[in-house]
A and B are shown apart, each in its own frame.
Chain A
Amino acid sequence: NAGVMQNPRHLVRRRGQEARLRCSPMKGHSHVYWYRQLPEEGLKFMVYLQKENIIDESGMPKERFSAEFPKEGPSILRIQQVVRGDSAAYFCASSPPLGQISGNTIYFGEGSWLTVV
């Protein structure tokens, strides 16, 4: 019973390059969330997606960041033209539909650590 799978675990990019982070939700989960964790801080909400829909991207920077969750395949968080301030841990989480009792809990992946040099 695989959990939330994220890859890559570690990614190094030079300033100006693109970073792509992938997330496969737990089996049976149709809701995906991305959070960012800066050093020595708690997590900050970025975006909430369902299959082929962005429900809430209020926590995501308006420029350079985008996210998708296609009908087939993993969710992708894409950061274009990365800068040093993008260096952080990016966590993906998933849940069943929140109306279900089992949707009360959101399960996290192991995170992807982006380092911009």
Chain B
Amino acid sequence: AQTVTQSQPEMSVQEAETVTLSCTYDTSESDYYLFWYKQPPSRQMILVIRQEAYKQQNATENRFSVNFQKAAKSFSLKISDSQLGDAAMYFCAYRSAGGRSNYQLIWGAGTKLIIKP
């Protein structure tokens, strides 16, 4: 079974600085998707960025980018120029691309990101 691990329960960063949140996963599959979701104090679950495992190029969305290391099964999120509105819980999630359960998202436990003004 696939697992997702976020080893940092909490991270803090100074406003305008850069922070990296780590995520590792375990799978025997070769084709899958990885996601970072953000859950602000409003508790809404918001998609931040998505990566297809077959793509070597790291995904980027404005100030958010990932470092996807397939061999190492690592999927870290880098937030540049941190803003107060980035304060939230960040969840890493995995989804198979095939197989019977390819609709299930497997979630990490989350990392709480604190932005210091």
Contacts and interface: CB of A to CB of B under 8 A. Distances in A.
Contact of B44 (A42, A98, A108): A108
B75 interface: no
Interface in A26-50: 31, 33, 35, 41-45, 48
A98 B102 CA distance: 8
Nearest to B43: A111
B31 to A, nearest CB: 11
B103 A33 contact: yes
B16 interface: no
Interface string B24-53: 000000000101010000111111001010
Scoring A42, A55, A111 by chain B CB atoms within 10 A of each residue's CB, the highest score goes to A42
A43 B91 contact: yes
B109 A41 contact: yes
A113 interface: yes
Q: How large is the interface on B (under 10, 10 to 19, 20 to 34, 35 or more residues)?
A: 20 to 34
A41 B101 CA distance: 22
Contact of A110 (B37, B44, B47, B109): B44
Contacts of B105: 35, 43, 45, 106
Scoring B43, B45, B91, B108 by chain A CB atoms within 10 A of each residue's CB, the highest score goes to B45
Contacts of A111: 43-45
A-B pairs with lowest CB-CB distance, top 8: A42-B107, A108-B45, A110-B44, A45-B104, A43-B107, A48-B103, A42-B109, A111-B43
Interface of A: 31, 33, 35, 41-45, 48, 55-56, 89, 91, 95, 98, 104-111, 113
